[in-house]
Structure 1
Amino acid sequence: MENKKTIYFLCTGNSCRSQMAEAWGKQYVGDKWNVYSAGIEAHGVNPNAVKAMNEVNIDITNQTSDIIDSNILNNADLVVTLCSHADSVCPSTPPHVNRVHWGFDDPAGKEWSEFQRVRDEIGERIKRFSDTGE
């Protein structure tokens, strides 16, 4: 089997958005891509992110909250920032790494429906990437 490409989802705390993106990524493109997530800081996986993903039958209880790994960052095929803070303060990436920004609202500290909305928006965006490559 040929080597998989690597996609790296980044946000501020690696607790909500990037955790959801990692899970959706594994579901939609995990057969073709190694999927990772990280944050500028590691705040721990938000229990509401776990609960939101459980609602769509995706278990993220074994995912960990990690700070950015420069080895993964510098060797990824695609780096996706999910919040403007990560986009602006993320370490620079080498020219061969494709870096894009898909902005989503931070549901942390908000009402439950925000977690559901952001979960669904991230899932739809990654499904579109799976379908179109963009």
Structure 2
Amino acid sequence: MNVLFLCTGNSCRSVLAEATFNHLAPAGWRAMSAGSHPAGYVHPRALALLAREGISTEGYFSKSWDDLPQTPDIVVTVCSNAAGETCPAYLGNVMRTHWGVDDPAHATGSDAEIDAAFVAAYQTLRARIEAFLALPLNELQHNRARLKAELDRIGEIF
């Protein structure tokens, strides 16, 4: 199963999710990330946070959803509707869910406050990914309606 984490810029949240998912996922499950309007770089604070968490940062870069290596089975948008962001609508016959997370790239304040915004985004994404991976995946990949319901629920509770 291929999971696509999608946002607009593909510089923070979607890359944090892709790297974390790939770090934790069982064999046969793989994450990708992309943006509808990629920033062209991965935010250095996102890379530093992943490294501090012991998650490899090798090979991650900001990319367009037009340049995906495989077709996703599941698309998870991570844009924050509460912040007035417009989430890209992935055009394809795939399962979609939304896990809104505030964009730490727009955080302001002291270095500690900005770092805290990155940590908060990472912790939210990691908790959701851990909840996703705790599901009975072998069973649910054959029950799309139940998997969709579970993914939607995960996006609302963390």
TM-score (norm 2): 0.72
Q: 3-state SS of the aligned residue for 2:119?
A: helix
Supply the RMSD in Å over aligned alpha carbons.
Answer: 1.9
Hey, what does 2:12 align to over in structure 1?
16
| 1:77 Cα deviation from its structure 2 partner | 1.1
**Unaligned ranges ≥5, structure 2:** 108-113, 138-149, 151-158
Give secondary structure in 2 for the equivalent of 1:69: helix
Indicate whether 1:126 and 2:129 are aligned: yes
Alpha-carbon contact 1:8-1:35 (below 8 Å) kept: yes
Q: Distance in 1 between matches of 2:48 and 2:16?
A: 11
Q: Which runs of 5+ in 1 are unaligned?
A: none
- 1 or 2 for the larger relative contact order (CA 8 Å, sep ≥6)? 1
TM-score (norm 1): 0.84
Do 2:33 and 2:63's aligned partners in 1 also have CA atoms closer than 8 Å?
yes
Name the residue aligned to 1:56: 53
Structure 1, residues 40-82: CA drift from partner, whole Å, max 9, x if none?
A: 1121100000011112111224201101137668x32111000
Higher radius of gyration, 1 or 2:
2
| Residue of structure 2 equivalent to 1:92 | 91
How big is the shift at 1:91? 3.4
Identity of aligned pairs, percent?
33
* 2:23 matched residue in structure 1: 27
Greater percentage in helix: 2
**Count of aligned pairs between the two proteins:** 126
Runs of 4+ off more than 2 Å: 69-73, 84-87, 89-93
